[in-house]
Structures are given as C-alpha cells and as structure tokens.
Amino acid sequence: MSALLIDGKARAAALRAEVATGVAAFVAARGRAPGLTVVLVGDDPASAVYVGAKGKACLEVGMISAEHRLPAETAQADLLALIGRLNSDPAVDGILVQMPLPKHIDSDRVIAAIDPGKDVDGFHPVNAGRLAIGQPALVPCTPSGCLLLIREALGDISGAEAVVIGRSSIVGKPMAALLTAASATVTIAHSRTRDLAGHVARADIVVAAVGIPAMVQGHWIKPGACVIDVGINRIALPDGKTRLVGDVDFAAARERAGWITPVPGGVGPMTIACLLANTLSAAQARS
C-alpha cells in the first residue's frame, strides 16, 4: 500500500481564497481592510524571508500589510513601546513579532505585551490558556493548519488515537489541545518518552514536531494511519547541495500510512494561510 499524499499547497490555496472572500465582505461592511503588522528585530536572513512572505500573502488576500524592521541592537524598552503603540492603533488588527529575537530581549515579556486580541500568532498566555480550557482563542498557526489537513484526510476524528511527538508551546502543546477539543484520545510524546515506537504503533493520527530528520521510522506506523510531518530539517547531500526533509522517514512511512504530508508542500504552506485566517478573525472580533 502507498499512502495518499495530503496536498498542503492545495488546501492552503483554498483557505487563502476563503480568507480573500471574508476580507472583501469585511471591507464592504466596515469600509477598511484588515491590517497585519509584522515586527522584525535584527537581520537574520531566514526571518527576513518569512516576513517578506507574510507581507506578500496579506496583500494577495486584500489585507493591509505593514512592517517594522528594527536594528539588532534595539533596546527591549523601545520594542515594548512600539508594541504599545500598535496595540492602540485602530488600523492594526494583528501584531506578529518574528521569532527568534536577539538574546538581550526577553521573548516571553514581548509576547505578553501584545494585546491578546491582536496576537495572531496565538502565543500570548491568555490565548494559550483559552485554548487549553476550550474557550474561543487565537490559535497558533502551524497546529491549526495541521488540524485542517487531518480533517481533510479523515473527516470526523472523534475517538481516534492521536500521538503528538513534541511538546513545544508553538506546535506540540496547542496541537494536543486542538486534537483533544476534536474528541481524539491524545498522547503527547517528547524527549523523555519511553518506547516512542510503541506509542506511534497504536496511533490513528501521528503528528511529528521534533526537528530531527527521519526520526519517526516507517515500520512504527500503524497501517492506514494519518501522518502529519511538521519537521523542517535541512540536510547536506553528498554532492554538496542541501535538501529539506521532515521528522518522518517519508519513503518507508508512505508504504504503511493511509495519508501522509510531504516535506516540503505539506504543513508548511498551511502556516501562512492560517495566519491570514487569524488576522481576519482578529479584525472581525474587534470594533
């Protein structure tokens, strides 16, 4: 058996089209477009690429995109003051501070300074808490995207066995909360988990968010399972080039799984699409 590929690019394009329709209705009703402001501190080249991609995606769905690019030596107090101004700016619906921040800045403090209603990354403790207790929240974009892909493959997941590998605040923990809210039976595995293979072997849904190339082995996968690979790892090839791979041994897992996301082209495209959806929701919830 060879698993069906879950096409994240196509699902993300459909979500972006839905958001564009929602933006057009918002503009007609409110006389203004939703606005996302991205703050980038320092000159990390990968972060600059992400920020550029987010701005372009905003414009494509009819939103207003603004960027603040600050020097790496920006004082924490100045960054907090900027966030304060964005919090009270009525034209700003979403605020995203690109991570990682330079070492002299306390990321937790910066995230906590963002108005939870404008926290389109869903990292603010208020949003994390609301998600944990099942209240409406702005939910982190990557796990939101994973849930959409799981639903695309399986539909109703009530009662399904789900194993989430990784317990970070941006992927693993919110993923487990979303799966629990969808009535799956959820196990969170992490670096101290004993017998990871045994947990994965009984999972109808496996979400791997670890950051180790091909650590989830193909023969662990339960036949027919839905495998969502969040990992993005750049590996060196013998010819000196590099290639992106996930956390799952794709070729071997594909032989046993029912559905599987490729890397790239699986979870990745969903993240920005969900950011746009969060920005529209934040705008709709305000004013």
- By annotation, the residues acting in catalysis are 54, 98, 121
CB of 187 to ligand NAD, least distance (A): 12
**Per rule CB under 6 A, is residue 232 in the interface with ligand NAD?**
yes
**Per rule CB under 6 A, is residue 268 in the interface with ligand NAD?**
yes
Q: Exactly one of 40, 157, 210, 214 binds ligand NAD (CB under 6 A); which one?
A: 210
Q: Rounded to the nearest 10 degrees, how much is the dihedral formed by the CA atoms of 217, 222, 223, 228?
A: -70
**Per rule CB under 6 A, is residue 271 in the interface with ligand NAD?**
yes
Contacts with ligand NAD by CB under 6 A: the residue count is 24
Distances (CA, A) of 221 to 5, 15, 62: 15, 29, 42
**Per rule CB under 6 A, is residue 260 in the interface with ligand NAD?**
no
Closest CA to 225 of 208, 247, 213: 208
**CB-based burial of residue 191 (10 Å sphere; 0-12 exposed, 13-18 middle, 19+ buried)?**
exposed
Per-residue binding string, ligand NAD, 178-197, x by CB under 6 A, is: -----------xxx-x--x-
**Per rule CB under 6 A, is residue 168 in the interface with ligand NAD?**
yes
Rounded Cα gap, residues 38 and 33, in angstroms: 16
Q: Exactly one of 32, 151, 167, 286 binds ligand NAD (CB under 6 A); which one?
A: 167
Q: Which residue is nearest to ligand NAD (CB)?
A: 168
Binding site for ligand NAD (CB under 6 A): 142, 165-168, 170-172, 189-191, 193, 196, 209-212, 230-233, 267-268, 271
